[in-house]
Amino acid sequence: MEMKNKYVTINDYINGAPMESNFSICEETISLSSGEDNINVMVVKNLYISVDPYQLNRMKTHSCSQLLLPESAAILPGQAADDLGSENPGHGGMGQKLLGRRRPGNWGGVIDGSGVGRVVESAHPDFKRGDLVTGRLHWGEYTVIKGVDTISMKKLDPLGFPLSYYAGSILGSSGLAAYGGFFKVCQPKKGDKLFVSAASGSVGILVGQYAKLFGCFVVGCAGTKQKVDLLKHKLGFDDAFNYKEETDLNSTLQRYFPNGIDIYFDNVGGEMLEAAVENMNIFGRVAVCGVISEYTDKTKGAKPDMIAVIYKRIRIEGFLTVDFKDIYEEFISTTVQHLQTGKMQAIEDFSYGVESIPTALVDLFRGNNVGKKVVRIAED
Amino acid sequence: MEMKNKYVTINDYINGAPMESNFSICEETISLSSGEDNINVMVVKNLYISVDPYQLNRMKTHSCSQLLLPESAAILPGQAADDLGSENPGHGGMGQKLLGRRRPGNWGGVIDGSGVGRVVESAHPDFKRGDLVTGRLHWGEYTVIKGVDTISMKKLDPLGFPLSYYAGSILGSSGLAAYGGFFKVCQPKKGDKLFVSAASGSVGILVGQYAKLFGCFVVGCAGTKQKVDLLKHKLGFDDAFNYKEETDLNSTLQRYFPNGIDIYFDNVGGEMLEAAVENMNIFGRVAVCGVISEYTDKTKGAKPDMIAVIYKRIRIEGFLTVDFKDIYEEFISTTVQHLQTGKMQAIEDFSYGVESIPTALVDLFRGNNVGKKVVRIAED
């Protein structure tokens, strides 16, 4: 079998803010010969591809995989360390291998991310042509997977929901990050006052909705009036503000939380984290999902007041979505119910075609997305 | 009843490193008239007084009590917010009222801290003359307590141990901080690799011992060769180093923890916290007991790598000893047993007399103490 495959690659490591010029669109011919070599090989036609901020961390000279010491591999039998980060929805993640396939004379290889596709060829006994699947797919038209396993690739029954919901969106990794981050890491109590940053981003927009349904007071921040309006008027946040219009974040948070913050769901890091700690109540919890302000500029790192952390007994905790596998079924059933009863909404921001992927990523760092960024590669 | 009382007061707020000249020794005449006003009044002859780094935080223009929002009072029925910090052993704590009694024409008043004394006069039904007590005592020869309550002041049975052990030392607040901080906040597992800073300080020296007994690999840092030798050769730490001889703390920790750190018990904050986070294993825990490097210079605050916090799912958590009241009995019985079987040692650093208190405090910030700093005010 032979087919043309257009895909995205990067031209060199990206250590600052990403630009379209960092990427190239390449074309290759996929030829799948039959024989023993092809056992467990599968070709998937990509339908929806997730684009997430964390993916930038895998494109740096020092991939964030270096943060993980050897024992990390042990926690995820059957998964390459490479896949750990992929599971990270909103703003965390890392990859041991930057690129899946390197070829002589070509610096880059394919880049992967979570997605939804349809099997067009399979030598794996558990997948057959025509199956819908969700898992790690490449930023391209097709994904050739060698060594398919049923942990990182799953058959998909969309339960009547749009396929895009499963491509890192509300029923995919962003949903699981929001659900696990809120319920497991934040350990919420009814009436808790929750602040979420990047609140119109893929994870924040869901955290706020889960928190409202649970019984929290919820304020989010975002970077445009349009996003703030969406949070306040369409998604039921108690309040929201445009951080770009604020000059002193500490006072801003004091204004929105005169009785302090119990939970801060952090997607941005930097000054916002510092201001949140200043405004935290005793026994406050900070779930660190992402620190997008630091991804492109490490000097923007937060210097939280540790004296306040002691006196207020604040807990600051990082997490990866991969750690929530044990609550996946609970997450799906709860979220499906909320979607069916209209209590939750998926907000998605689409781009179309492989060529749009680089801009889709770049836009995340310019704050141009509203909700989950998904690229539709092909119609089903 | 009338008696002369020598006591320590401060001359003005102290916002930098403390100096002896910040303090004065005053003398007053205590007269206790009888009558209804004196119900619940008690006079205690101070025997041992604890001197702790956190007390400096109560002497600043902006007392750390301002970090606490009103609800904090609610968690400790029967205790003034003032007393919260007092319960904080090693390096945390705060006080709402800087000084207990203010008098016209005199800027300062008495300063309190945990201690052991003997009741010389009591109008409270639960305490009688001659009782040994432990609780908040003043930095002076006597403590006059109005509104005595049995939560902040307790009768003491020393169980055959030196009285100093109860004055903020191994059977007092430092012990409880180390015990609760290690077992409750760090959530240790046998074989965990633990790093403790200010390891020869009042809390660190006990954390290391608890951790060794529990089955951890323990490395501590301190600021002199004498302290390092004590940790390695007398207290059974697996290793220890003098941080003043190190130029790159990140590499230092890599050297002592080639397989990474699972638990960091932080007493110092600043660069050491940053280096510990860099060397942390996945699911690592940082118990923030104190940040002494930041008490006298806020610009030294740590900027931990939050990207590492996410990828390695690190939990950073502050605590106060006051939160461990529910495990007080367990702490005492366990520690008494370890002392009786010779498995733990109290390392105390004595000063003598009210006049020595200012230097005792100042010395803490110069690293001159080895183990728990206790001032013996009088022989029993």
CATH code where residue B203 lies: 3.40.50.720
pLDDT at position B36 is 57
What residue in A sits closest to B84 (Cα-Cα)? A311
Cβ contact B349:B372 at 8 Å: yes
Query: Is residue A198 domain-shared with residue A165, that is, in the same domain?
Result: no
Q: Which residue of B has its CA nearest to A186?
A: B315
A95 touches chain B (CB under 8 A): no
Residue A28 has phi, psi (to 5 degrees) of -140, 165
Which of A282, A306, A322 is a domain's end point?
A322
> Are B239 and B350 in a shared domain?
no
Hey, of B310, B316, B322, which one would you mutate to test binding to chain A, going by the most A CBs within 10 A of its CB? Answer: B310
Least Cα distance to B177 among B112, B85, B293 occurs for B85
- 10-residue mean pLDDT series, chain A (380 residues): 89 89 92 66 95 88 51 24 35 32 48 94 92 95 89 92 96 97 98 98 97 98 97 97 97 98 97 98 97 86 95 97 94 97 97 97 93 94
CA distance B65 to chain A (A): 8
In the numeric block, which tokens belong to residue B236?
């059974």
Cβ-contact B114, B134 below 8 angstroms? yes
Do the Cβ atoms of A302 and B303 come within 8 Å?
yes
Does the residue A195 lie in any domain?
yes
Consecutive H or E run containing B114: strand B112-122
**Residue A297: inside a domain, yes or no?**
yes
CA distance B320 to B76: 12
What's the pLDDT score for residue B143?
95
- Chain A partners of B274 at a C-beta cutoff of 8 Å? none
Closest-CA residue of chain A to B69: A281
Contact criterion met (CB < 8 Å) for B294 and A307: yes
**Same structural domain for residues B10 and B136?**
yes
Instruction: Note the helical H segments in chain A.
Output: 54-57, 81-86, 173-180, 204-214, 225-229, 249-256, 270-278, 292-295, 306-311, 328-340, 357-365
- Residue B68 sits at the chain A interface (C-beta within 8 Å): yes
Q: Does A310 touch chain B (CB under 8 A)?
A: yes
Chain B stretch 247-266, residues whose beta carbon is closer than 8 A to a beta carbon of chain A? 259-260
CA–CA min distance B273, chain A (Å): 10
pLDDT at site A354: 97
Same domain, B289 and B205: yes
Contact A69 B260 (CB under 8 A): yes
In a domain, B217, yes or no: yes
B254 to each of A227, A262, B227, how far by Cα in Å? 44, 36, 21
* A318 contacts A264 by C-beta, under 8 angstroms: no
Model ipTM over 0.90:
no
Is A315 in Cβ contact with B309 (below 8 Å)?
no
- pLDDT, tens digit, for every residue of B54-74? 888 888 876 654 444 333 222
Å from B372 to nearest chain A CA? 20
One domain for residues A126 and A201: no
Long-range contacts (CB closer than 8 Å, 24 or more residues apart) made by B9-15: B9/B99, B9/B106, B9/B107, B9/B108, B9/B109, B9/B110, B9/B111, B10/B59, B10/B99, B10/B107, B10/B108, B10/B111, B11/B107, B11/B108, B12/B107, B13/B59, B13/B60, B13/B61, B14/B56, B14/B59, B14/B60, B15/B60, B15/B61
Structure tokens at B269: 């904050």
CB proximity B306 to A under 8 Å: yes
Q: For residue A320, give the nearest of B281, B304, B311 by CB distance.
A: B311
CB contact under 8 A, B306 and A71: no
Whether B58 and B379 have beta carbons less than 8 Å apart is answered as no
pLDDT (tens digit per residue) in B310-352:
999 999 999 999 999 999 999 999 999 999 999 999 999 999 9
* Interface membership of B175 toward A (CB under 8 Å): no
Under an 8 A CB cutoff, do B314 and A317 touch?
Answer: yes
Residues in chain A with CB shorter than 8 Å from the CB of B312 are: 67-68, 318
Q: pLDDT (tens digit, 9 = 90+) per residue, B140-178?
A: 999 999 888 888 899 999 999 999 999 999 999 999 999
For chain A, say whether B89 makes contact (Cβ under 8 Å). Answer: no
Q: Which domain holds residue A40?
A: 2-169+346-376
Residue A269's closest chain B neighbor by CA? B306
Q: Which 8-state DSSP code applies to residue A87?
A: T
pLDDT of B33 > 90? The answer is no
Q: Which of residues 279-298 of A touch B (CB under 8 A)?
A: 281-282, 288-291, 294-295
Do A273 and B306 make contact, defined as CB atoms within 8 angstroms?
Answer: yes
Rounded to 10 degrees, what is the CA torsion of A266, A268, A273, A274? 180
Q: Is residue B338 part of a domain?
A: no
Please indicate whether residue A98 or residue B133 has the higher confidence score (pLDDT). B133
Would you say residue B105 lies in a domain? Answer: yes
Co-location of B122 and B215 in the same domain: no
Looking at this protein, which amino acid is placed at residue B56?
L
Q: Which has the closest alpha carbon to B48: B126, B115, B118?
A: B115
Determine the number of helices (DSSP H) and then strands (DSSP E) in chain B.
10, 15
Is the same domain home to B13 and B142? yes
Q: Cβ of A315 and B313 within 8 Å?
A: no
Residue A94 belongs to a domain: yes
Name the DSSP letter for residue B73.
G
Partner-chain contact B315 A310, CB within 8 Å = no
**Are A143 and A203 contained in the same domain?**
no
Check residue A282 and give its pLDDT.
Answer: 96
Report the distance separating Cα A121 and Cα A144, nearest Å.
Answer: 9
- The dihedral through the CA atoms of B245, B250, B255, B256 has a sign that is positive
> Quick one: A354 and A259 in the same domain?
no
- The pLDDT of residue A87: 33
Based on the fold, state whether residues A123 and A12 are members of the same structural domain: yes
Distance between A75 CA and the closest CA of chain B, angstroms: 10
How many domains would you assign to chain B?
2
We report the CATH number of the domain holding residue A71 as: 3.90.180.10
Are the Cβ atoms of A67 and B312 closer than 8 angstroms?
A: yes
CB-CB neighbors (< 8 A) of A315 in chain B: 315-318
Q: In this complex, is the C-beta atom of B73 within 8 Å of any C-beta atom belonging to chain A?
A: no
Q: Is B5 exposed, middle or buried (0-12, 13-18, 19+ CB in 10 A)?
A: buried
Shared domain check, A359 and A229: no
Q: Is B21 on the interface with A (CB under 8 A)?
A: no
Q: Is A24 within 8 Å of A8 (Cβ atoms)? A: yes
**Cβ separation A71–B282 shorter than 8 A:** yes
Closest to B146 measured CA to CA, from B60, B59, B33, B46: B33
Nearest to A227 by CA among A187, A193, A198, A256: A198
Judged by CB atoms closer than 8 Å, whether chains meet at A310 and B294 is answered as: no
List, for residues B76-109, the tens digit of each pLDDT value: 222 222 333 333 333 333 332 333 333 333 356 7
In a domain, A337, yes or no: no
Q: Are both A218 and A353 inside the same structural domain? A: no
Comparing C-alpha atoms, which of A109, A130, A111 is closest to residue A119? Answer: A130
Beta carbons of B311 and A85 less than 8 Å apart: yes
Sort out which chain A residues have CB atoms less than 8 A from B269's CB and list them. 306
**Chain A (338-357) residues lying within 8 Å, Cβ to Cβ, of chain B:** none
Residue A339 lies in a domain: no
